[in-house]
């Protein structure tokens, strides 16, 4: 296992026996007990001054600048416009350990890991895909889920807010052949987001990337390109999630564009359901960013 330069120095001080025990030797319950003891000892040694210093300096605990009344109002409007196919889900703030790295391609150091062997939700779409996979494996033919949840990003300082409220959709369905399922799911999501953006931020544009040529022809034939900017030749790697076949972004501005959210096809449910015929489309928008753009539009 490779670590950072800082962690390598610490491991050298602890020795190989402690390293092997912590990484592989201890069972989950044993490791949780040790980590709980460490957290208890560290918390017990902190003073009131230490706690307020942490609150003042740790960006992970800094409150969002978005007015919660505006966040609530816009979130309500997004729920009211949601297609009837989508069932609402109230997610836990936690998800399974490894969700961000296995699904979102994030390094584990980019998510917040708990001492109880779980992690904070870094993207609600990941948790929705887990729930959709559970329902699909239980016999549901098609699953459409929606949620709003606060996502926490353990990114480096200067990379934006450490947490944001995201309104997210996830659809999982079996392959119908001839890319019929893909184009149906795309139409469901795109038409929803087009209507939502027109109502909330009319200046926003939907940028669509189609890596699959056959899917591009079907999308054009379904009339889904109205009010959509088709972007060609865009690399998939800079996107928030590792999308395949097609992806889209919600963008405001030209010279210094602000990305409000994105979506696309993902292979997650194929792995989670052990069914290569499953198709999954996720999408989401930052309500915190939407609040700012909506306010600018209104004023």
pLDDT at 198: 92
Reported pTM: 0.90
pLDDT at 1: 53
Pick out the chain residues at pLDDT < 50. none
State which H helix or E strand residue 257 sits in: none
pLDDT at 254: 79
pLDDT at 48: 97
pLDDT tens-place string over residues 127-146: 999 999 999 999 898 999 99
Domains annotated for the chain, with CATH where assigned, are 5-45 (no CATH), 59-298 (3.30.930.10)
Burial 156-186 (b: 16+ CB within 10 A, else e): eeeeebbbbbbbbbbbbbeeeeebebbbbbb
Burial tier of 113 (Cβ tally within 10 Å: 0-12, 13-18, 19+):
middle
CA–CA separation, 270 and 172 (whole Å) = 10
């Amino acid at each position: 296992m490779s670590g950072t330069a800082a962690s390598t120095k610490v491991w050298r001080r602890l020795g190989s026996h402690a390293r092997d025990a912590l990484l592989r030797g201890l069972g989950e319950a044993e490791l949780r007990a040790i980590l709980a003891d460490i957290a208890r000892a560290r918390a017990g040694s902190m003073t009131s001054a230490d706690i307020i210093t942490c609150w003042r300096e740790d960006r992970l605990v800094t409150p969002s600048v978005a007015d919660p009344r505006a966040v609530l109002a816009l979130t309500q409007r997004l729920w009211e416009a949601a297609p009837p196919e989508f069932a609402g889900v109230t997610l836990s703030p936690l998800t399974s350990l490894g969700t961000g790295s296995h699904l979102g391609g994030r390094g584990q150091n980019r998510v917040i890991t708990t001492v109880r062997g779980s992690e904070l939700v870094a993207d609600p779409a990941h948790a929705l895909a887990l729930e959709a996979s559970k329902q699909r494996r239980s016999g549901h033919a098609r699953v459409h889920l929606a949620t709003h949840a606060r996502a926490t990003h353990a990114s480096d300082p200067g990379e934006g807010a450490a947490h944001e409220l995201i309104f997210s959709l996830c659809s999982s369905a079996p392959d119908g052949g001839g890319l019929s399922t893909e184009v149906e799911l795309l139409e469901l999501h795109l038409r929803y987001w087009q209507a939502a953006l027109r109502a909330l931020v009319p200046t926003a544009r939907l940028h669509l990337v189609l890596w699959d040529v056959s899917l591009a022809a079907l999308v054009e034939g379904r009339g889904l390109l109205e009010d959509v900017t088709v972007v060609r030749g865009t690399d998939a790697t800079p996107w928030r999630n590792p999308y395949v076949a097609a992806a889209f972004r919600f963008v405001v501005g030209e010279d210094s564009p602000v990305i409000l959210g994105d979506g696309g096809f993902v292979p997650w449910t194929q792995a989670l359901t052990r069914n290569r015929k499953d198709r999954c489309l996720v999408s989401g928008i930052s309500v915190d960013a939407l609040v700012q753009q909506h306010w600018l539009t209104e004023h």
